Amino acid sequence: MTELLSSASIGPIKLKNRVIMAPLTRGRAGDNRVPNELMKTYYTQRASAGMVISEATVVSKEGNGWDQSAGIYTDEMAEGWKHITDAMLKLDCPMVLQLWHCGRASHSDFHDGELPLSASAIKLQGDGIHTPKGKKEYETPRAMTQEDIQRTVADYQSAATRAKAAGFAGVEIHGANGYLINQFTDSRSNQRTDEYGGTIANRCRLLEEVTQAVLEVWPADRVGVRISPNGSFNDMGAEDFRETHLYIASMLNRYKLGYLHIMDGLGFGFHELGKPMVLTEFRALFRQAIIGNVGYTQETAQDAVIKGDADMIAFGRPFITNPDLPLRFANGQPLTPWNDMSTWYTHEATGYTDYKALNQA
User: Looking at residue 341, what is its pLDDT?
Assistant: 86
Active site residue 259: no
User: Looking at residue 360, what is its pLDDT?
Assistant: 67
| Residue 38 located in a structural domain | yes
Name the active-site residue from 42, 43, 73, 179.
Answer: 179
User: Looking at residue 295, what is its pLDDT?
Assistant: 95
Q: b vs e for 77-116, b when ≥16 Cβ sit within 10 Å of the residue's Cβ?
A: bbebbbbbbebbeeeebbbbbbbbbbbbbbbbbbbeeebb
| Residue 253 located in a structural domain | yes
- Report the mean per-residue pLDDT for the chain: 97
Q: Given a cut of 90, is residue 5 above it in pLDDT?
A: yes
| Residue 21 located in a structural domain | yes
Task: For 35-55, write each residue's pLDDT tens digit.
Answer: 999 999 999 999 999 999 999
Task: For 70-92, write each residue's pLDDT tens digit.
Answer: 999 999 999 999 999 999 999 99
Give the CATH number for residue 66: 3.20.20.70
Task: For 298-346, write each residue's pLDDT tens digit.
Answer: 999 999 999 999 999 999 999 999 999 999 999 999 999 988 888 988 8
Confidence of residue 359 (pLDDT cuts 50, 70, 90): confident
Lowest mean pLDDT among 64-73, 183-192, 333-342: 333-342
| Residue 338 located in a structural domain | no
User: Looking at residue 361, what is its pLDDT?
Assistant: 54
| Beta-ladder partners of 262 | 227, 292
User: Looking at residue 102, what is its pLDDT?
Assistant: 98
Task: For 109-119, write each residue's pLDDT tens digit.
Answer: 999 999 999 99
Long-range Cβ contacts of 320-324 (<8 Å, 24+ apart): 320/24, 320/344, 320/355, 321/355, 322/355, 323/45, 323/46, 323/48, 323/355, 323/356, 323/357, 324/45, 324/46, 324/48, 324/357, 324/358, 324/359
User: Looking at residue 204, what is its pLDDT?
Assistant: 98
Can you tell me the distance from the alpha carbon of 45 to that of 213, in angstroms, rounded to the nearest whole number? 33
Longest dimension (CA), the chain: 58
Task: For 138-159, write each residue's pLDDT tens digit.
Answer: 999 999 999 999 999 999 999 9
Number of domains in the chain: 1
User: Looking at residue 8, what is its pLDDT?
Assistant: 98
Host domain of residue 108:
8-331
| Residue 205 located in a structural domain | yes
| Residue 45 located in a structural domain | yes
| Residue 279 located in a structural domain | yes
User: Looking at residue 205, what is its pLDDT?
Assistant: 98
280-293 mean pLDDT? 98
| Residue 153 located in a structural domain | yes
Identify the three-state secondary structure at position 86: helix
